Structure 1
Amino acid sequence: MMLNLPEKVTIIEVGPRDGLQNEKLFVPTEIKKQFIAGLRKAGLQEMELTSFVSPKWVPQMGDAAEIVADCLDQNSRDIVLAPNRKGIDRVYSTDCKAVAVFVGVSNSFNLKNINKTTHDSMAELKPIIKGLKERNYFVRACISTAFYCPYEGKINESDTISLCREFVAAGVDELSVADTIGMAAPNEAYSLFYQLKAEFTDTLLTAHFHDTRKLALANILTSLQAGIDRFDTSAGGLGGCPFAPGASGNAATEDVVYMLERMGIQTGVDLSRLMEAIDVVRPHLSRQIESGYYRLHAQTV
């Protein structure tokens, strides 16, 4: 049986930002820089570096300005998350040219996260996105709680698609559509991404799966069959969300790369160098790395 699969997949590494944001221990800034450098050596060409958010709410990102100043690479797409006007103004003071904004489909999640409804968040973001595009920035829209919400339960597909339409109309370059709490089933992943792929033919579409219930790889497989060839992953499976109770880490970059390469799909990622990058940050984490590929590697070196 032949599967409908791409020849190549782009991995967007979110470990330095989404992966570390929920860590209880502050990871030293120099270690973050070494981690980012190691990920580049592994061949990762697109990466979320950090967030311009309030250090009061996300202390781990308090060194964002230094990270951006020292870690940008002109040969890569380096993305900085900025949730509001204050964050965007900080981005404008740097040389970074790729910005991620985010909104939850769920009103309850949005209120817990940024104290605004989804509607109010979009009203604030639309002129920000317009300004970014006028300055030739790459704009990535992160769609949180696209499948399920920790407060509201199952999200209607139509609501997720409607929010994606608003972002595309506002001019974003990419939609990163997230299973924030890791509850999506493979058939749900296929259904949503099939519809998004059919409608948004001129927008980059990226799938972002958390592995809370160990369904991330299965969801990635069905998303591939729906035509998706871009995936957010986190080295070591790091991650979670401070405002989404029960959410565990992201799909582990090493597990995803291993699966794709075994299937004959090119990723451009060197697994041995990826392991070296994870080893840089591992001693500074508050939790064990549980990805299958890493555990096997650690036992055999």
Structure 2
Amino acid sequence: MNQVLAAESVAPAANGRIQVTEVGMRDGLQIESRLIPAEQKIDLLNDMIASGISHIEVTSFVSPKAVPQLADAEQVIGGIRRREDTYLMALVPNLRAAERAANTSVDGGVLLCSASETHNRKNLNRGIDESIAAFGEVAACLRAAGIEPLGGLAVVFGCPFEGDVPVRDVLRLAQSYADLGIHHVTLGDTTGMATPVNVRNVIRTLRGELPDIDITLHLHNTRGVGLANVLVGLEEGVRRFDASVGGLGGCPFAAGATGNICTEDLVYLLQESGYETGIDLDKAIAVAHKMERLLEKPLAGQVMRAGPRLALHAADAVRTAAG
């Protein structure tokens, strides 16, 4: 009995620092029909930075015709108030996008390719081999501007058009990035088809074949197992995770796409598990509520509703059972 009480009174052990990258301003807004003006986006981004979020995927240099919500990329980036640790990223799916990024202050440019042929053609309007062939000039353009090229892979854990994606196909694309000296690779669960089993399998395969790759997990909560997959990633040594304010998100070019794992829910899970994030949870929750007001619809986050675990309430604020 005494041992049980002692164990319950001990705070979680320090498990190290986790990098949480906020992607809601790109992946979250790209699927929204309600356009948020650039000034309001900048205000949200500055609040995110003030909450302690250091890494943010702020936008995409995709064609404004394809994703009108992100047509203001340059204006948004130009209005952000940085801190010393701020690292801004943007999606650069082609050379034209890289050339636009080169004229901004972004720190990282995310190259992108899907692990399935059908999704790559839907999402990027080209085949996988065409995407791989273009990686070199895109990376060179970014490096010439002092921007770090980063690797992004979509539908890694399953494609809504083709089903299961062979891990060898994921490995081939990760190798293509590694051949260009790109060692930060994000594994995207574009429509929430990841499970604890296939997450573990992909991570172990990549680590076994490409041990120098630094993996980021980009998970969606489409089928309710997003945070379960985070726990598997943590067990496998992953220390970088993408998340979206309020659980916003989804690919406009994939059937059945819904939101990312929620930033506030992820931060809560990590902090309650003994990990450091550098993020003030209360401030992150406030950002989620602001986003909710701007979009004029309820968001999917749970911690933004319930608050932190020890957010207590006055006893007289709740009625007492009668009888």
Q: TM bucket by the smaller chain?
A: over 0.9
Unaligned runs of 5+ in 2: 1-13, 314-323
CA contact (8 A) 2:102 2:141 kept: no
Distance in structure 2 (CA, Å) of the matches to 1:104 and 1:6: 33
Asked if 1:153 corresponds to 2:200, the answer is no
Specify the code of the residue in structure 2 equivalent to 1:206. Answer: T
Secondary structure of the structure 1 residue equivalent to 2:152: strand
CA contact (8 A) 1:106 1:152 kept: yes
Q: What is aligned with 1:18?
A: 27
Please state how far the C-alpha of 1:279 moved relative to its aligned partner.
Answer: 2.1
In the comparison of the two structures, how many residue pairs are matched?
298
Asked if 1:59 corresponds to 2:80, the answer is no
Counterparts in 2 of 1:38 and 1:281: CA distance versus 1, 3 Å: same
Q: Which moved more, 1:252-261 or 1:273-282?
A: 273-282
Structure 2 matches for 1:184-195, cutoff 5 A? 184-195=194-205
Distance in structure 2 (CA, Å) of the matches to 1:196 and 1:268: 28
Q: What is aligned with 2:39?
A: 30
Secondary structure of the structure 2 residue equivalent to 1:269: coil
Percent of pairs with identical residues? 33
CA contact (8 A) 2:157 2:194 kept: yes
Q: What is aligned with 1:9?
A: 18
Instruction: Calculate the aligned-residue CA RMSD, in Å.
Output: 2.0
TM-score normalised to the size of structure 2?
0.87
Distance in structure 1 (CA, Å) of the matches to 2:208 and 2:231: 18
Secondary structure of the structure 2 residue equivalent to 1:32: helix
Distance in structure 1 (CA, Å) of the matches to 2:54 and 2:294: 24
Task: Show CA shifts across 1:89-128 (max 9, x none).
Answer: 1111222231111100111001111210011111112222
Q: What is aligned with 1:268?
A: 278
Q: What is aligned with 1:119?
A: 129
CA contact (8 A) 1:99 1:137 kept: yes
Distance in structure 2 (CA, Å) of the matches to 1:118 and 1:287: 37
CA contact (8 A) 1:234 1:252 kept: yes
CA contact (8 A) 1:24 1:286 kept: no
Distance in structure 2 (CA, Å) of the matches to 1:287 and 1:88: 34
Specify the code of the residue in structure 1 equivalent to 2:62. Answer: V
Distance in structure 2 (CA, Å) of the matches to 1:35 and 1:268: 18
CA contact (8 A) 1:130 1:170 kept: no
Q: What is aligned with 1:209?
A: 219
CA contact (8 A) 2:191 2:257 kept: yes
CA contact (8 A) 2:119 2:161 kept: yes
Counterparts in 2 of 1:229 and 1:6: CA distance versus 1, 3 Å: farther
Secondary structure of the structure 2 residue equivalent to 1:79: strand
Higher relative contact order (CA 8 A, sep 6+): 1
CA contact (8 A) 2:120 2:128 kept: yes
CA contact (8 A) 1:6 1:224 kept: no
Secondary structure of the structure 2 residue equivalent to 1:36: helix
Q: Which moved more, 1:70-79 or 1:120-129?
A: 70-79
Q: Which moved more, 1:285-294 or 1:52-61?
A: 285-294
Q: What is aligned with 2:148?
A: 138
Secondary structure of the structure 1 residue equivalent to 2:176: helix
CA contact (8 A) 1:197 1:227 kept: no
Please state how far the C-alpha of 1:224 moved relative to its aligned partner.
Answer: 0.8
Asked if 1:166 corresponds to 2:166, the answer is no
Q: What is aligned with 1:102?
A: 112
Please state how far the C-alpha of 1:48 moved relative to its aligned partner.
Answer: 0.4
Counterparts in 2 of 1:273 and 1:64: CA distance versus 1, 3 Å: same
Unaligned runs of 5+ in 1: none
Please state how far the C-alpha of 1:285 moved relative to its aligned partner.
Answer: 1.8
Task: Show CA shifts across 1:242-284 (max 9, x none).
Answer: 0111111001011111111111111111111001112222122
Task: Show CA shifts across 1:4-57 (max 9, x none).
Answer: x94221101111111111111101211111110111111011110111111111
TM-score normalised to the size of structure 1?
0.93
Please state how far the C-alpha of 1:79 moved relative to its aligned partner.
Answer: 0.5
Q: What is aligned with 2:99?
A: 89
Asked if 1:288 corresponds to 2:302, the answer is no
